[in-house]
C-alpha cells in the first residue's frame, strides 16, 4: 500500500500530464528511481508507479513545474546535497507527533570532522541547539561521553545503521526521531567539507536541520523552512527560523516563556 501522502499527491489534477517520451536518458532514470526508492518508497512499492508518475510526484513535492518530463530543473533539484532522512515517513514506526517527554535535554559531541577545531564545532552546535531553545521552553546542556539524550558524531560511508554515507555531496547527514529505536542520534558525513561559511557545507545550517529531526520534526515542503530536505546556504549570522519552523516546534513543546 502506498503512503497516504504519495496517494494524495498522485491523484491531484496534474496526474493527467503527458507521459514520459521514449528515448529518455536511462542513466538519468536510474538515478531518479534510486532517489525515489531511497527517500519515498520501498522496492516493493516502486513498481506500483510508472516513471511518469514518479517524476510528477517529485516535481510536485519540490514545488517544481509539473510536466512529468525528466528535465534539467528536476535533475538539478534531485542532485542537490540533502538530508538522508526519508521525505515520506513510515508513520507505523513513528506514529503521531514524536517528542521528548522532558524539556531539559543533554547533548554530547562524540567526535569531530576533519579541518575544524573541536572548540569551533562545539560553538556551532551550541548555536544550533540555541536556535530551537530560543523559541521553546527547551533547555540544552552539553555533557561528555555517550550518556546523553542527543549524541552527535561524524562518520564515513557505512557506519552501522543501514544509512551509509556517500562522501562529498549527496547525503550530508541524518538523525533519528525521539520515538525511534535510537532516539537523539545525529550522524554527519565525515567526508564533507564542513565549514563556518559559504564554502563547502555550512555545519551550522545542517546541524540545525538535523537537530530539528532529533526533536521530533519531519521534513517540511516549505522552501523557507530549515527543515526543507535539500541544502541551501544562508548566512548563519542573519539566520532565523521560518514561521513554519517555529509553529511546528511549538506544537511539540510550547512557547518560550519570557519573564
Q: Which of 46-50, 157-161, 178-182, 229-233 is predicted least confidently?
A: 46-50
Q: Which of 7-11, 14-18, 186-190 is predicted least confidently?
A: 14-18
- Considering the entire predicted model, what is its pTM? 0.83
Tell whether 43 and 136 lie within a shared domain: no
Q: Is residue 87 part of a domain?
A: no
Q: Tell me how far apart the alpha carbons of residues 116 and 86 are, in angstroms, rounded to a whole number.
A: 28
Tell whether 119 and 25 lie within a shared domain: no
Show which of 46, 79, 112 is a domain's final residue. 79
DSSP class per residue in 194-205: EESSSSSEEHHH
Q: Give the count of domains, the chain.
A: 2
pLDDT at 86: 87
Q: Is residue 187 part of a domain?
A: yes
pLDDT at 186: 96
Q: Tell me how far apart the alpha carbons of residues 14 and 63 are, in angstroms, rounded to a whole number.
A: 13
| Domain span at 125 | 104-253
Q: Is residue 92 part of a domain?
A: no
pLDDT at 40: 79
Q: Pairing mode, if any, of strands 150-155 and 104-109?
A: parallel
Q: Is residue 204 part of a domain?
A: yes
Tell whether 41 and 169 lie within a shared domain: no
Share of the chain above pLDDT 70, in %: 82
Whether pLDDT at 30 is above 70? yes
Tell whether 122 and 243 lie within a shared domain: yes
Determine whether 210 is an active site residue.
yes
Tell whether 146 and 231 lie within a shared domain: yes
Q: Tell me how far apart the alpha carbons of residues 93 and 178 are, in angstroms, rounded to a whole number.
A: 11
Element (H, E) at 174: strand 171-175
Q: Tell me how far apart the alpha carbons of residues 108 and 98 are, in angstroms, rounded to a whole number.
A: 21
Tell me the per-residue pLDDT of 54-103, one tens digit each, with 9 for 90 and over. Answer: 888 888 888 888 988 888 898 899 999 999 998 865 433 345 678 999 99
Tell whether 119 and 204 lie within a shared domain: yes
pLDDT at 92: 35
For the chain, the C-alpha Rg in angstroms (whole number) is 19
Tell whether 238 and 132 lie within a shared domain: yes
Tell whether 24 and 123 lie within a shared domain: no
Three-state secondary structure call for residue 189? strand
pLDDT band at 29 (very low <50, low <70, confident <90, very high): confident
Q: Is residue 98 part of a domain?
A: no
Provide the CATH number for the domain around residue 127. 3.40.390.10
Q: Is residue 95 part of a domain?
A: no
The answer to whether the beta carbons of residues 239 and 203 sit under 8 Å apart is no
Tell whether 60 and 125 lie within a shared domain: no
Q: Pairing mode, if any, of strands 185-189 and 171-175?
A: antiparallel
Mean pLDDT, residues 216-242:
93
Mean pLDDT, residues 213-236:
93
Of the residues 51, 53, 158, 210, only one is catalytic, namely: 210
Across the beta sheet with 139-142, what order do the strands follow?
A: 82-83, 171-175, 185-189, 150-155, 104-109, 139-142
The answer to whether the beta carbons of residues 231 and 205 sit under 8 Å apart is yes
Q: Is residue 143 part of a domain?
A: yes
Q: Is residue 88 part of a domain?
A: no
Tell whether 246 and 174 lie within a shared domain: yes
Average pLDDT, the chain: 83
Tell me the per-residue pLDDT of 92-148, one tens digit each, with 9 for 90 and over. Answer: 334 567 899 999 999 999 999 998 999 999 999 999 999 999 999 999 999 998 789
Tell whether 116 and 240 lie within a shared domain: yes
- Measuring CA to CA, which residue among 196, 179, 184 is closest to residue 122? 196
pLDDT at 36: 81
The answer to whether the beta carbons of residues 138 and 111 sit under 8 Å apart is no
pLDDT band at 48 (very low <50, low <70, confident <90, very high): low
Q: Which three cell numbers stand for residue 184?
A: 537523539
- The residues facing 109 across adjacent strands are 152
Amino acid at each position: 500500500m502506498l503512503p497516504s501522502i504519495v496517494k494524495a499527491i498522485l491523484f491531484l489534477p496534474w496526474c493527467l500530464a503527458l507521459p514520459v517520451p521514449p528515448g529518455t536518458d536511462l542513466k538519468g532514470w536510474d538515478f531518479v528511481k534510486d532517489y525515489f526508492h531511497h527517500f519515498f518508497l520501498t522496492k516493493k512499492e516502486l513498481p506500483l508507479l510508472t516513471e511518469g508518475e514518479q517524476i510528477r510526484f517529485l516535481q510536485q513535492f519540490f514545488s517544481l513545474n509539473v510536466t512529468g518530463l525528466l528535465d534539467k530543473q528536476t535533475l538539478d533539484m534531485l542532485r542537490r546535497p540533502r538530508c538522508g532522512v526519508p521525505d515520506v515517513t513510515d508513520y507505523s514506526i513513528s506514529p503521531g507527533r514524536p517528542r521528548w517527554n522532558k524539556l531539559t535535554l543533554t547533548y554530547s559531541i562524540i567526535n569531530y570532522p576533519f579541518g575544524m577545531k573541536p572548540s569551533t564545532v562545539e560553538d556551532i552546535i551550541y548555536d544550533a541547539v540555541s536556535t530551537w531553545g530560543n523559541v521553546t521552553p527547551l533547555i540544552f546542556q552539553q555533557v561528555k561521553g555517550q550518556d546523553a539524550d542527543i549524541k552527535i558524531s561524524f562518520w564515513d560511508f557505512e557506519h552501522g545503521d543501514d544509512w551509509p554515507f556517500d562522501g562529498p555531496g549527496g547525503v550530508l547527514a541524518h538523525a533519528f526521531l525521539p520515538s525511534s529505536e535510537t532516539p537523539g542520534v545525529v550522524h554527519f558525513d565525515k567526508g564533507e567539507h564542513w565549514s563556518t561559511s559559504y564554502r563547502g557545507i555550512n555545519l551550522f545550517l545542517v546541524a540545525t536541520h538535523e537537530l530539528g529531526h532529533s526533536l521530533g520534526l519531519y521534513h517540511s515542503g516549505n522552501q523557507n523552512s530549515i527543515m526543507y530536505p535539500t541544502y541551501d546556504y544562508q548566512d548563519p549570522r542573519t539566520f532565523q527560523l521560518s514561521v513554519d519552523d517555529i509553529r511546528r516546534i511549538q506544537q511539540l513543546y510550547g512557547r518560550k516563556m519570557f519573564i
